[in-house]
Structure 1
């Protein structure tokens, strides 16, 4: 049996729509760029991932608690965090096509193109200019000069007609309250571009009321919004997205050890999710590429159909955030260590994972096309714990005796699993539909099992290898639970 893995993003997009995982938002009106809706199967997959993350963070740690902070916050929060002044991308427009591009990414693409043509010397020269952009005439001016000097053309039109490079703030701005002026002013608020700041401004509340002592963590899942000008690659980069973040507060001096601990722990979580090890890697940020607040940072990357990309970041944010909010709010955000009898502002180790990117990773990693008896079978071999539907239940044909038992089994298993009853189409087509949905178990009720002496039996079919067992109805839950525990990506 020949097996083909996913090699095209278009293939994933097509399956995601046809099997009700993900739809383009407002599709009947032509769609809204870089905004997507989760369909019946997608919302279940997303929930399963979210629940496993939440359990791994809060339920399995005595010193990590949850939070759900508001999307709207006082604008001073974003002033303190640096987002109001510095959360920008340098943008440039192609005058011919009116397409907008990130200037630094245009240059990075040109460098990659030069390397592919084995023009290493010129690529290194261009990389050096990019690395030092901002140190000559200012960032926008330097990027513009590089693009002009190296005659970098627009990727789509091939034109060399550029506007000036200018900074574009990524935060969505709106007005707050019934008396809003509708323009710039004191009533302006922002849709949060990240969930982390909601944790930092609640640090003292949580520490005081949840009786937490350093080291401790605060976990949160929530929506964030970024007005990405160049948003593409399906749900990998969207304007509305969901983050799962945990900020871990530690004593200064222990931050290096804690950073290493959480980086290892987060990589183990991705493997436990069922993602193949060879598709995962850790990419450390070089010192000259670190964010202004970071002592250390690393990306956990997955090899998507679009190449190696970040799915999660682990960062040592030092005491930057709490110090900033202490200064701007005038509130004490320090911690008093009773054992050491000293007061300090904790350092923060952050784990930040994109929930939508994780959904895309799970779908991409699970996708297979297999040649079976001259036909192509598309199947999602994902971890059964993540599968939107755990069990499909089918009467072999539409006969009352078979339908009755199938309904009884459906109702019984529904107490423990998300199940689907289906009596439409041939049994082969029903299997194929569930293969594409990632359903790990399909139960078929037939006359051999209903009319046999003694206890009723059914056929249970396993998604990954298509083998089947005949099982007494009373043992179905036991068999399903055992098979779910036995599953591993190596055996799928």
Structure 2
């Protein structure tokens, strides 16, 4: 029989608030602020036993869908990389947030967050700094810490990179990566070999990233150290198109830029196929990955009534991205970004190709050899050497680039090149310039990149928030987490009904059997059975197995299996228990079918 006594309307269960969730998370070992013994430090969180298991299950589910099922590779790159990597990627110059400092208490704040929290502006990050300063003055915004006015205070840029040194003494400067993507891009010359130089191919990575946030807030939603799960998918933009047939019927809620800019704009409910046909999503590749992601989010426990894809406005879109959509979830009435889906073009590989000594291209073979005209140079080094000294090789590179780009520059008696800000004239006769017919089997192309980038910590927070429930069972208040079995930290709790040697021995045998088939199991013999049920409900354990006296006395050895959400109970044979629960875990069997 069910122990549950509640109305038929299952929607009556109370949802979470952030305060309740953070309290539960700390008490039950999901997550808590790090270094508490030393007063804690903002923006760093420790995932406890339950949280680490949930996070690991989410990562495994992501890996299964976006690496294994899609046939993509996975790598694990270092979290610290040398300075030239981030000079090439642009992070040293443009990876900034807007900072405003309180004139009274000296506390620093994200200026765009101050605006968003206290005005109708939803995407202040996309505003230019002078306009942010005007909004702060117009609305007479104050310091969130002490209440002093911020009008008239300068809004400045603050680079989010964590700097470090590599090696002792006069060591090389390095940085902790702000995204896992660069670890994939810098290894492209080798990764393309593993892909047999055939496009398209994808490379995934799950790992830590670091951003020195001005004002981390809202527990694990915005932190200084976090986990990303990213896929960089490399394509030939001229020939590679996704097969949309598998996702074209996926229903999605979209919030395009056009609707965000309209006075009466709102969300659009459509399908992936219709969104592409109508030009709402301009990149078929981005559309494909949105179609893959939506059912995956549903499977891991994100409430689809509080989920949407929002297109970046032009002011907030990264300069390299031609289009970008965020997967967003609603938490406490606010929409938070969980993932970004961007078409990055050839920006990343081109930049690393310019700044490094390696080739970030792929050789694309023609169906048939082609005869083409190529402009070449064969400089007279006996002239360039004395003239330019150690810069002679750089001059050769400049001449080669210019010949490939603009052969008309060699039409006169001299050609001009720019070297470290100075213009130099070189006699054309000393450049060895010529236009020759060449037969080529193919050409080197720079692939374009499509990037689905997932924030794991924010997803974990969303899953917990959307799973939080409060109800009454047998006139007693109950809190439980309605986690999906695929991601729940513990799948089965096993209890002996009483502290009895025979019951405990049987319970331990069942624990061993269930663990042998790969199920996550906890054993609990502390307190009355109702209290043990409540503990497992609160951490989201889908099933509890109770070993009672019927188990050891009846001819057929059975146990009571209780389901978390309905609290329904069924007696099942011990011999079939591992197989039955494994089938439920894999989604091949429903509890109510037993």
TM-score with structure 2 setting the length:
0.74
The match for 1:195 is 180
Deviates more, 1:207-216 or 1:464-473: 207-216
Which residue pairs with 1:427 in the alignment? 529
Change (3 A) 1:334 1:435: same
Paired position in structure 1 for 2:224: 239
Q: What is the CA distance between 1:212 and its match in structure 2?
A: 5.0
Instruction: Note if 1:164 corresponds to 2:154.
Output: yes
* Other-structure match for 1:148: 137
Is residue 126 of structure 2 the alignment partner of residue 99 of structure 1? Answer: no
Instruction: Choose 265-274 or 31-40, whichever is displaced more.
Output: 265-274
Change (3 A) 1:339 1:419: farther
Partner of residue 394, structure 1: 495
Q: 1:290 to 1:329 in 2, by over 3 A?
A: same
Partner of 2:163: 173
Secondary structure in 2 aligned to 1:5? coil
Judge conservation of contact 1:172–1:226 (CA < 8 Å) in 2: yes
Residue 543 (structure 2) aligns with: 441
Q: 2:56 matched to 1:66?
A: no
Distance 2:127 2:483 in 1: 44
Alpha-carbon distance, 1:450 to partner: 1.2
* Alpha-carbon separation, structure 2, partners of 1:161 and 1:316: 38
Instruction: Tell me the equivalent position of 2:374.
Output: none
- Separation in structure 1 between the aligned mates of residue 207 and residue 108 of structure 2, nearest angstrom: 29
The whole-number CA distance in structure 2 between the counterparts of 1:58 and 1:109 is 38
* 1:398-417 equivalences in 2 (<5 Å): 398-415=499-516, 416-417=518-519
Which residue matches 1:115? none
CA distance in 2, matches of 1:334, 1:158: 54
Question: 2:341 & 2:473 partners in 1: Cα distance?
Answer: 42
Q: 1:159 to 1:436 in 2, by over 3 A?
A: same
Question: Matched residues in 1 for 2:125 and 2:29: separation?
Answer: 43
The partner residue of 1:345 within 420, 431, 446 is 446
3-state secondary structure, aligned to 1:480: helix
1:266 is matched with 293
Given candidates 320, 326, 336, the residue that maps to 1:293 is 320
Partner of 2:311 in structure 1? 284
How far off its partner does 1:21 sit? 1.0
Corresponding residue of 2:116: 108
Cα 1:32/1:342, change in 2 over 3 Å: same
Question: Which whole-Å CA distance do the structure 2 matches of 1:477 and 1:234 have between them?
Answer: 38
Instruction: Determine which structure has more spread, i.e. the larger CA radius of gyration.
Output: 2
Deviations 1:80-119 (Å, cap 9, x if unpaired)? Answer: 111001111121111223322222333333432xxxxxxx
Equivalent position SS for 2:64: helix
Q: Secondary structure at the match of 1:12?
A: helix
Partner of residue 343, structure 2 = 316
User: Cα–Cα, structure 1 residues 277 and 328, in superposed 2: closer, same or farther, change >3 Å?
Assistant: same
For residues 174-203 of structure 1, the C-alpha deviation after alignment (integer angstroms, 9 at most, x for no partner) is 12212147xxxxx22111111101111111
- Counterparts in 2 of 1:149 and 1:61: CA distance versus 1, 3 Å: closer
Q: CA deviation at 1:334?
A: 1.2
Q: Equivalents in 2 of 1:436, 1:215: separation in Å?
A: 45
- Once the two structures are overlaid, the 10-residue window that deviates more, 92-101 or 332-341, is 332-341
Which whole-Å CA distance do the structure 2 matches of 1:271 and 1:351 have between them?
Answer: 17
For residues 422 and 146 of structure 1, the distance between their equivalents in structure 2, rounded to whole angstroms, comes to 56
Superposition deviation, residue 449 in structure 1: 2.1
1:107 and 1:130 in contact (8 A); partners too: no
- Summarize the Cα distance change of 1:436–1:90 in structure 2 as closer, same or farther, 3 Å threshold: same
The answer on whether the counterparts of 1:196 and 1:247 sit within 8 Å (CA) in structure 2 is yes
Other structure's SS at 2:77 match: coil
- Structure 1 distance, partners of 2:23, 2:34, is 15
Pick which of 229-238 and 338-347 moved more: 338-347
Q: CA distance change for structure 1 residues 459 and 382 in 2, over 3 Å: closer, same or farther?
A: same
Runs of 5+ consecutive residues of structure 1 not aligned to the other structure: 113-122, 134-138, 182-186
Residue matched to 2:418: none
In the TM superposition, what whole-angstrom CA distance separates every residue of 1:311-334 from its partner, at most 9, and x where no partner exists? Answer: 111000011101111111142211
Q: How many residues align?
A: 465
CA shift, 1:306, in A, is 5.5
SS of the equivalent of 2:13 reads strand
- Give the equivalent residue in structure 2 for 1:118: none
Q: Is the aligned partner of 1:275 residue 2:311? A: no
Query: d(CA) in 2 for partners of 1:74 and 1:51?
Result: 30
Deviation at 1:290, TM superposition (A): 1.8
CA offsets, 1:378-426, max 9 Å, x none? 1111111111111111110011111111111111111121111111100
Q: Is the 8 A contact 1:444 1:460 kept in 2?
A: yes
Query: Which residue of 1 is the match for residue 272 of structure 2?
Result: none
Residues 165 and 407 of structure 1: CA distance in aligned 2, closer, same or farther (over 3 Å): same
Tell me how far apart the structure 2 counterparts of residues 472 and 451 of structure 1 sit (CA, whole Å): 13
Q: Which residue of 1 aligns with 2:278?
A: none
Distance of aligned partners of 1:15 and 1:180 in 2 relative to their CA distance in 1, 3 Å threshold: farther
2:240 matched to 1:213? no
